Structure formats: C-alpha cells, structure tokens
C-alpha cells in the first residue's frame, strides 16, 4: 500500500434522483426509523471483506470508500460513496469488499432482514434499492473502462467529471479523499496523480487553489474531450 499523504486539492455517471430527492415524507421518516445512525471518524471501519452482510448502508454526510487489499499488500479502491449513496448491498451472505470512512462521516445502517417490512410500508424503498444497484453497476462499468483503456491524464479527467456530477457546485470540487486514495482508485502512483493535476492546471483546464482540498474546473469541455 502506498504511504498516506495530506488531502488534495466517461462523462459523470448519471445521478439517481431518488438517492438525493426532496425532503423526506412521513413514510420516509418511518423507513429511516428502521435504520441506525452511526458516526464515524477518519479511517474507521464500517465492515471488512468476509464479514456477514447483515446490513446495507446510506451515507448521510462525509464519504466512505470501499476497497480490496490484494495479496501483495496493494489496495484497490472500488468506489467512493458520497452523501445520499447507498452501499454494502450484496448478492450473497458476505461482503466482497471492505469499507471505511474517508474522514468524519455519518451513515445509516439498515438490516437486510427488514427489507420485507420496508416493501410493505414504503413503496419508494424498493425503487431506491434498485436505483442503487443500477447506479453501482454503471459506476463499476465506467471504472473498468477507466482502468483498462485510459492514460493517467484521461483517468484524472474522468474522475473529476464524475465527482463534479455528484456535487451541488459542480465546477468547484471539495475532495474528501487524499492523493493516495485517488491513486489507489485510478491504478496510478501518487507522483503520477500529482503530475497529471499539475499538467491540467498549467493548461488552464483546472485550478488548484492554495487550499488543496479544492479543485476548480476552468475548462469543462477540455476535460470532456479527455474523457471520450
């Protein structure tokens, strides 16, 4: 695994409105009551690969990463889950990935055994579950293409466009993850991530303010051309 460092400053995967919808209805509050709120600190585990998949989760604040540790100690980050995202849903009885908080985060955990009750009480919940599964599939397909066919700068461009499509102010991205996280997600080294970001900044495509947690997108069409 690469050493940790300070946080950094295809077209984005389509958003699923149901995961970031309007103010909760009475039924949604009832459904939420079946979940348990959990507050996490940086790097705190949610579950570990091989754990029994008795729960699934929804991010309320912060970010969660899901990942696998390879036999040689390297880490491959599968996805970053942001507020509104559902994660931890499994087809089998065990988790295939590990999950932990990127920074301070709040999640809601739901028992898989309660899905039947939710189906009866709130017709929106099964739709949310299906939307979450479809969104995960889209992102997994995009990530597979990114890892297999794109160079370093193209990977960074795709990553930034995806994040920008998942944030309210999509021309200014607050990155909760470190350069190490980005490298482990994109299959790059930390040095390559830094060089690629600097290259994009010199070309006027992005801006890296002094506060390195932020990236400003200055030329979205240029990023989109790199993402094609």
Same domain, 109 and 184: no
> Can you give the pTM of this predicted structure?
0.78
201 and 136 in a single domain? The answer is no
Is residue 215 assigned to a domain?
Answer: yes
β 172-174/214-217 pair status:
antiparallel
Residue 95: inside a domain: yes
We report the CATH number of the domain holding residue 39 as: 2.60.120.10
Instruction: Choose the final residue of a domain: 127, 146, 165.
Output: 146
Picking from 82, 88, 84, the residue whose alpha carbon sits closest to that of residue 102 is: 82
One domain for residues 27 and 76: yes
Average of per-residue pLDDT across 63-85: 93
Distance CA 147, CA 188 (A): 9
107/163 same-domain check: no
Model confidence at 199: pLDDT above 80: yes
> What range defines the domain where residue 57 resides?
17-146
What are 127-149's pLDDT values in tens digits? 776 777 777 777 777 777 777 77
How many whole angstroms separate alpha carbon 166 and alpha carbon 226?
19
Residue that is last in its domain, among 130, 146, 162: 146
Q: For 198-227, what is the mean pLDDT?
A: 91
């Amino acid at each position: 695994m690469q050493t940790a460092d300070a946080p950094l400053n295809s077209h984005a995967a389509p958003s699923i409105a149901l995961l970031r919808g309007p103010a909760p209805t009475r039924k949604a509050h009832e459904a939420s009551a079946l979940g348990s709120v959990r507050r996490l600190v940086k790097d705190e585990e949610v579950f570990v690969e091989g754990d029994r998949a008795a729960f699934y989760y929804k991010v309320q604040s912060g970010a969660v990463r899901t990942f696998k540790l390879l036999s040689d100690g390297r880490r491959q980050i599968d996805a970053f889950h942001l507020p509104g995202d559902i994660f931890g849903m499994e087809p089998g009885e065990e988790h295939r990935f590990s999950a932990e908080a990127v920074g301070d985060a709040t999640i809601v955990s739901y028992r898989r055994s309660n899905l039947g009750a939710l189906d009866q009480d709130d017709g929106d919940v099964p739709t949310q579950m299906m939307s979450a599964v479809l969104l995960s599939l889209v992102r997994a397909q995009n990530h597979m293409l990114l890892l297999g066919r794109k160079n370093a700068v193209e990977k960074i461009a795709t990553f930034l466009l995806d994040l920008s499509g998942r944030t309210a102010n999509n021309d200014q991205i607050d990155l909760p993850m470190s350069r190490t996280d980005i490298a482990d997600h994109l299959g790059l080294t930390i040095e390559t991530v830094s060089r690629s970001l600097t290259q994009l900044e010199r070309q006027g495509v992005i801006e890296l303010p002094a506060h390195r947690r932020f990236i400003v997108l200055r030329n979205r069409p240029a990023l989109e051309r790199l993402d094609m």
